Every structure is written in structure tokens, then in C-alpha cells.
Chain A
Amino acid sequence: MATIDFKNVQKRYGQFKAIHDFNLHVGEGELCVFVGPSGCGKSTILKMLAGLEETTSGSIEIGGRDVTDLGPGKRDIAMVFQNYALYPHMSVRSNIGFGLKMRGVPKADIDKAVNEAAEILELTDYLDRRPRALSGGQRQRVALGRAIVREPSAFLMDEPLSNLDAKLRTQTRSEIVKLQKRLGVTTIYVTHDQVEALTMATRIVVMRGGVIQQVGSPDELFSQPANLFVAGFIGSPGMNFFRGPVEIENGKAFTRFGEQRIPLGQVPQKLTAKEAIFGIRPEHLQVGETGVPVTLSLVESLGTEKILHFATPKGQETDAIETEIVSDEDARDKKTMLARVIDDRRYHDGETIRIALPEGKVHIFDTVTHEAIV
């Protein structure tokens, strides 16, 4: 158990800057998730923390000890790899015990520790098999076993679930969280999947292009995204965006959505233009008697939950979506907005419904900096 500190960490490959000035403090026992699209530097920073990549400048501390130039084996960490990296020529028992053996732990103690770990992970029956003879989920647990048996001060996990099928992934997700809580070991978890981040993390670090975009709890990220990128990246389906004017009247601020005037919760202070980009999550849009009439272009039904597609009001589309948002889910474009509703009503393609934007649920972003404006 230990804190982890990144101080002005940078990474360059020749001219290319992979990590810009990375600063972060991770507290004891936290499960901190690094999330971002591929190539955002999340795996690089994890490898630097593990000592597998050289740190160009800055320093990394684990438990207050500067480990920047220490070898991976001297950092008292354990790592779970995306492809598990189990040693194919060793039995499960030797795989789990290898780290202890390398540290000169007596054989009897290794056996005891391996058996305990195997029990926790329900691997006892498989200890004498080779990794080849295990299923994907079992291999994943062996990889976890190899990490926990050493009782390290930190776990590093690099997309450990991405090789599992969807059902197993959900199940293993909660198992890892339970295990982490039980052991209380500080954990850095890297993923590109924002759902994993939201469900597992005590704190999320959103990264893009080697730069931290926002650090916060899942709730904070969801309700107060710091910029357009985070707003679009977190949540499924992602946030809707439209461009609109900011009108101030009697100390109250409004924008327009189609024909309708939408009251904003607060008066935006630091605005660089008369316009702003507004965001609203699909689940916050209200279908009802009042509001802007829109025509549904597509209805996706997931049982009681429905995703309604309709066109962004004319002239309010924003290019920022396409340049900023790299979402791995359904194709979003600047001309379509989504509403997520849970009710018993039936919706049809081509039907016209009324959509309302409740006050206080609309996020405001600067058109130039794309930062959130409060």
C-alpha cells in the first residue's frame, strides 16, 4: 500500500512528445483509472510507472520513494498485462510463484502463498496445468494471481479485460473491484473503455494526446466535464452538442434550441464570444407535451430503453464534435442528436415529438477553447 506521485513527467520519442508534463497524486488504496482513446499515452505512462519505459524527464515516486531510475523488479509493483503474458512453459503454480522465487522466498512460503492466492481466485484445481490448457477467464485469473501473491505496494493493470467476451468482462470487472477493496492495494488501471472507468474507479484520469484532460470521481466527470472532449467521451451514448447564442436578460441567461428559448441555470462568466457550444446528455432530454417539435429519423429499441435519433436544429450544428470527440461507440455526427428514454410508449420513425431541455442540465462550452464555462 502506497501513494503514487508523478511529478512533471515527460516522455519523448525523438521529436514526438508522447507525454506532456504529467502531474498526479494517487492516494493509498485508490483504484485510479486512466482512460482515453488509443494513442493518448495512458499505456505509456503506465509502462513508465512500471519501469518498462524510460522517463525522459520528471520523477515518479511510489510510497514517497523516488523510483524513476529503478528497474521494474525493484519498484515493489505487480502488473497485469492485456495479453496476460503468462509464461507458457511453466505450470500455473510456477507462474504465480515465479515472482516470489525471483525474490528468494523459501519454497515452503511460496507454496503457501500460491495456494492462498489460488483459493481466492478459485484456481486450486488448475495449479498443475499449463496456461495453454486454460480458458481465457482462467488465464486472466492466473495473471491476477501472479500479481496478488507478491503483496506489492501497487497493482498496475493494462487493459486486463479487453481479451474477454462481453459477459465475462462485466463479471470480472466487479471481481477485480472486490479484490482490490479487500486487499486495499493502490491500483492504477488503464482502459480505453469509459464504462469500465465509470464502474470501477474511485478516481478517473481522462487523457488525450499525452495530456491530462480531467481528474475526478466518476460522478464529477459525468456531471461536470471540464471540456468538450471529456463531455463527449464519458457517458454512453455520448453527450449531444449544439451551437447557440447566449442571451442575457434581467440577470438571467438563455439560449435557443430550434424555436424555443432555453433558460440556463447560471449566467456564463468567461465567454469569449456571443455564442457557445451547449451540451446535454441523451438521458436528460425530456419527451413530453411541451418543448421543441422534432421528427424522429431513427428509433433504436433496447426493450424498455429507447434511443431516439433526430436532426440537430438547422444552423445549430457544430463542427467541434467531429474534431474533438473520438467516441468508440455509434457513429456520431454533427447533424444528429440522441434522446434516451425509458417508458412504455411506442415511437415510430418519422413521428414528430416534443423535446424539452431541463434547466440546469445544459452544459456550456466555449466555442474557441472548448473548455466548460460555469
Chain B
Amino acid sequence: MIDFSSPKHRSKFGYMLLAPAVILMALIIIYPILLSVDISLQDVRIARVGGTQAPWTTKNYDWLINSEEFWNSIWVTARMVFFVGGTSLVIGLATALLVNQKFKGRALARLFVALPWAVPEVVATVIWAWMLDSSFGVINWLLLKAGFISEAIQFGSNATAAFFAVCFVMIWKGYPLVSIMLLAGLQSIPAEQYQAAKVDGASVWQRFFYVTLPNLAPVIGVTMVMTTLWVFRDFSIIYVLTQGGPIGATTTLSMLTFEQAFSFFRMGQGAAVGVVTMIICAIISRALVGRFAKSVH
């Protein structure tokens, strides 16, 4: 029996604690990733483990390059990332700045502002689906009443409307996290910097641009990477709201992966899309994290 309290064996104790996690990660993340690359190189409809292995082929990737659906989904994903990311940042920053003010009931306001974060995605989506309902939805009613539109928007069948419907839900679900993280960032800015800026005669806007934003830049960077990856990975909202339709208007890479694999049962093609998505995600997070990490130092 090894005495793990001995300074000589202490690091063995560390490895022992780490072992379950490493083994689990290897079994449920590393192996599946390798397996998915393997599947993406096989011409299979329903993938199985064991049994005879189909020969490796680049057929799925050939399909991918030549398929309109794939390029469309990249375009949809990019637009969605841009719109959802930008809007969440604006709303998140605004709400963070608001609840960073000193006022009575601030704790309660903070609680409320981030509340959508706690609503499960499927629930959030069905609420919005109901609000956006073309016949009896409250949003169409409001827009009609206010005179912005003359007839109800068909969020189900109008491609542009469906795209924005998905974006609204994503923004509503996504901005609280941005807000929470930016608020933490705001609170870590030393008050002395604001006092010094005030002494130097900086206006509210100057203080925002020269003190708040530079201090917040790294947090904004991390937050944007997280939001981007979230939009890339999201499945529930799109699936429940539009199933990727109409005619692919809301089919992101993530949706396309699932659709190919589990709606059309072409797991080889699905895996190929998924592998490409994973590589794009890796490149984005590396590039952005790297740049912002640099700007901090």
C-alpha cells in the first residue's frame, strides 16, 4: 500500500484523482470524435460499431463541396452568428451598464435581467413560437395595431421572417450570459480609473470610450467567442421552431448535420458536415481567443 501523504508519492495521488476523468473523456469524447471522422469517410446510411467496416472513401466530402445545401448552411450560419452576436452584445452591454448603476432594488433588477438564461431552450422556443403565431400571436397583433404592417407576418413560411424569428429566440436566450459576464467585467474595473478620468474632465461618453471599453475588451472577446460557438452548436431552438425550414432558410451547419444523419439517415454525410463544423469552430475560437489574449498583455 502506497502512502500517498508521502511527498514522494503525492503527485501519484494527483494522477489517481485525474484518472476517472481522463478515462471518461477518452471514452465519450475522444473516441466518438475519432469514430465520427471514421464514419464521415464511409458511405453509410446508419452507422454501426463493430461488424464489417465499409471501405474509406471521400464520397461524403465530395458531396459536401458540390452541394448547394452545404454552402447555403454556411451562409445561414454566418448571418445568424453575425446578427445574434451583434444584437446580444448590444443588449447585454446595455443591460449590464444599467444594472451596474447604484440604485435601490439593483439586486432584484440583476436577477430579472438575466432570467431568460434560466428558461430551458425548448420552453423559450415554444413561448416564442406562440407569440409569433401568424393567426393569434401577440407580436403580429402588436405590429398590426401599431401600423407597422398591414397583414400578419407568416413566420412559418416566409424565409426572411423565419430567419429573424430564430434570431429573436437566440438573442433572448443568449443575451443574459453576455450581460452576466460583462457585468462581472464592469465590476472589476477599478473605481480609481473613473475618478482619475473625472478629475481630468472626461465626459460620460469619454469615460465610456476611454475607460470602460478598453477594460472590457478582453471580456467582450471571450463573450463573443462563446456566443458564436453557441450559435454554431445550437440545435434545439431551430429544430423546435422551424426544423431548418422553410426551404433551408434556417438550416445552420448544426441543423444540416442532424438532418442528414437522423432525418435522411445519411450518417456518413452528416458526419462529414459535422467534422467540417468542428474544424471551423476550432479555427474561430483559436483566432479570436488568441487575438484577445494578445490585446490583454
**In the assembled complex, how far is the CB of residue B88 from the closest CB belonging to chain A, in whole angstroms?**
39
Q: Is B286 an interface residue (CB 8 A)?
A: no
Chain B hits for A76, CB < 8 A = none
Can you report 6 residue pairs joining A to B where beta carbons are below 8 Å apart?
Answer: A48-B7, A51-B6, A51-B7, A54-B8, A55-B7, A71-B7
> Which of A55, A70, A71, A74 has the most chain B CB within a 10 Å cutoff?
A71
* A53–B5 CB distance below 8 A: no
CA distance A74 to B6 in the complex (A): 9
> Which residue of B3, B4, B7 contacts A53 across the interface (Cβ within 8 Å)?
B7
Tell me the chain B residues, 1-18 only, with Cβ under 8 Å from chain A.
3-8, 10
Chain B hits for A48, CB < 8 A = 7
Q: Is A73 an interface residue (CB 8 A)?
A: yes
* A72–B8 CB distance below 8 A: no
Q: Is A69 an interface residue (CB 8 A)?
A: yes
Interface string of A15-58 (1 = CB under 8 A from B): 00000000000000000000000000000000010011111000
> Which of B3, B5, B6, B10 has the most chain A CB within a 10 Å cutoff?
B6
**In the assembled complex, how far is the CB of residue A282 from the closest CB belonging to chain B, in whole angstroms?**
38
> Which residue of A69, A73, A74 contacts B8 across the interface (Cβ within 8 Å)?
A69
B5 and chain A: residue at smallest CB distance: A71
B3 and chain A: residue at smallest CB distance: A71
CA distance A305 to B5 in the complex (A): 53
Interface size class of B (residues with CB under 8 A): under 10
CA distance A70 to B6 in the complex (A): 5
CA distance A73 to B4 in the complex (A): 11
Interface string of B1-41 (1 = CB under 8 A from A): 00111111010000000000000000000000000000000
CA distance A54 to B5 in the complex (A): 11
CA distance A171 to B227 in the complex (A): 57
> Which of B5, B7, B8, B10 has the most chain A CB within a 10 Å cutoff?
B7
Chain A hits for B4, CB < 8 A = 71
**In the assembled complex, how far is the CB of residue A250 from the closest CB belonging to chain B, in whole angstroms?**
61
CA distance A71 to B5 in the complex (A): 5
A54 and chain B: residue at smallest CB distance: B7
Chain A hits for B3, CB < 8 A = 71
List the 10 shortest-distance A-B pairs measured between CB atoms, nearest first. Answer: A71-B5, A54-B7, A69-B8, A71-B6, A51-B7, A69-B6, A54-B8, A71-B3, A73-B5, A53-B7
Chain B hits for A51, CB < 8 A = 5-7
Chain B hits for A70, CB < 8 A = 6
B10 and chain A: residue at smallest CB distance: A54
* B7–A74 CB distance below 8 A: no
A47 and chain B: residue at smallest CB distance: B7
**In the assembled complex, how far is the CB of residue A260 from the closest CB belonging to chain B, in whole angstroms?**
52
Interface string of A54-86 (1 = CB under 8 A from B): 110000000000000111111000000000000
**In the assembled complex, how far is the CB of residue B125 from the closest CB belonging to chain A, in whole angstroms?**
43
Chain A hits for B7, CB < 8 A = 48, 51-55, 69, 71-72
CA distance A52 to B6 in the complex (A): 8
CA distance A73 to B3 in the complex (A): 11
CA distance A52 to B4 in the complex (A): 12
CA distance A53 to B5 in the complex (A): 11
Additional pairs, 20, CB under 8 Å, beyond known A71-B3, A71-B7: A48-B7, A51-B5, A51-B6, A51-B7, A52-B7, A53-B7, A54-B7, A54-B8, A54-B10, A55-B7, A69-B6, A69-B8, A70-B6, A71-B4, A71-B5, A71-B6, A72-B5, A72-B7, A73-B5, A74-B5
Chain A hits for B6, CB < 8 A = 51, 69-71
A70 and chain B: residue at smallest CB distance: B6
B11 and chain A: residue at smallest CB distance: A54
**In the assembled complex, how far is the CB of residue A240 from the closest CB belonging to chain B, in whole angstroms?**
40
**In the assembled complex, how far is the CB of residue B15 from the closest CB belonging to chain A, in whole angstroms?**
15
**In the assembled complex, how far is the CB of residue B24 from the closest CB belonging to chain A, in whole angstroms?**
29
CA distance A55 to B8 in the complex (A): 8
Chain B hits for A54, CB < 8 A = 7-8, 10
CA distance A2 to B94 in the complex (A): 66
CA distance A18 to B132 in the complex (A): 67
Chain B hits for A55, CB < 8 A = 7
Tell me the chain A residues, 286-345 only, with Cβ under 8 Å from chain B.
none
**In the assembled complex, how far is the CB of residue A39 from the closest CB belonging to chain B, in whole angstroms?**
21
Chain A hits for B10, CB < 8 A = 54
CA distance A69 to B9 in the complex (A): 9
CA distance A55 to B7 in the complex (A): 8
**In the assembled complex, how far is the CB of residue A214 from the closest CB belonging to chain B, in whole angstroms?**
28
**In the assembled complex, how far is the CB of residue A126 from the closest CB belonging to chain B, in whole angstroms?**
31
**In the assembled complex, how far is the CB of residue B14 from the closest CB belonging to chain A, in whole angstroms?**
12
CA distance A302 to B3 in the complex (A): 57
A53 and chain B: residue at smallest CB distance: B7
Chain B hits for A53, CB < 8 A = 7
CA distance A86 to B10 in the complex (A): 22
**In the assembled complex, how far is the CB of residue B231 from the closest CB belonging to chain A, in whole angstroms?**
42
A74 and chain B: residue at smallest CB distance: B5
CA distance A55 to B3 in the complex (A): 16
CA distance A82 to B10 in the complex (A): 23
Tell me the chain B residues, 229-247 only, with Cβ under 8 Å from chain A.
none
CA distance A71 to B6 in the complex (A): 4
Interface string of B265-279 (1 = CB under 8 A from A): 000000000000000
CA distance A51 to B4 in the complex (A): 12
